[in-house]
Amino acid sequence: MRSARHLVQLGFTLTELAVVFAIVALLLAGAMYTLSAQTEQRNFEETRRRLDQARELVLAFAVVNGRLPCPARSANAVAGGTTIVTGNEVRNATTGACADDSAVSDYYGGTNAGVTLGLLPASTIGFQQVDSQGFAVDAWNNRIRYAVAGKVTNCTGTPTPAPSPNPQPYFTSASNLKSNGISCQPSDLLICKSATGISGADCGGAANQIMSQDLVSAVIFSTGKNGAQTPGTDEAANLNGDPIFVWHTPTPSTATNGEFDDQFTWITVGELYRRLIAAGQLP
């Protein structure tokens, strides 16, 4: 192999060699950037596919069991001081109540009464892409989140359970769903376009609202590549334990509300009821 000195002797100056090496470096950097961008796009699309698959598996579970599954739990203290770490749903088989995240409060208790938050119950619904502990993960190996509506409203007659503000397990209870038919609507899960303007249980106006509380029975989402390690303002709204979520197209860290790469899907109450009726689970 010819040395740089020999090449210089043949007519190449050090300046010319430096230019060549700089061009090669730029080409390599461009190739690496393109490869990285392609990898991120594949991960984004794969996560989208997993969320869609999770959504269908949750609905399939509902068709078979007549109810939505409860979330899975990761090291959450539940009744009796027991610590739960499982990819299965954590649910009281007698009442249908889910064990809520201890940081949020007990299910149907505290300031966030009704909403139940947690992780996608991979084992319960048969989701295959899991981590070493059996929890459903996205393409970046971050655990997939799952929330179920708890409060109901607009029920006809005298429903069991009673509608909010005194809810009982509803969408996670086959017997309660069967008793009330399709008259009850969810009344706590809300999806906004931005965390800016959110006030109490409201997006701050129709212009900032994507889905209202009476439409969404369950939410499934990924925290994206950043895994919510340094969440922006909008991402933080998805992790604060309340039933209000934010979704929009991805934004960089320089955006007004910071980086946002969460991915979402949800199940409307209309689709849930339609599937249950078609399966003979309702009315």
pLDDT digits (tens, 9 = 90+) for 193-237: 999 988 877 888 889 998 888 899 999 999 998 876 777 899 988
Q: What's the mean pLDDT in 93-111?
A: 52
- What pLDDT does residue 3 have? 57
Integer Cα distance of 281 and 22 in angstroms: 68
Confidence of residue 4 (pLDDT cuts 50, 70, 90): low
The model's pTM is: 0.78
Confidence of residue 106 (pLDDT cuts 50, 70, 90): very low
Confidence of residue 37 (pLDDT cuts 50, 70, 90): low
H or E stretch covering 61:
helix 14-65
Integer Cα distance of 90 and 143 in angstroms: 16
pLDDT digits (tens, 9 = 90+) for 107-122: 333 343 334 568 899 9
Integer Cα distance of 240 and 275 in angstroms: 31
Higher pLDDT, 59 or 282: 59
β-bridge partners, 219: 147, 266
CA angle 35, 37, 43 (to 5 degrees): 105
Confidence of residue 169 (pLDDT cuts 50, 70, 90): confident
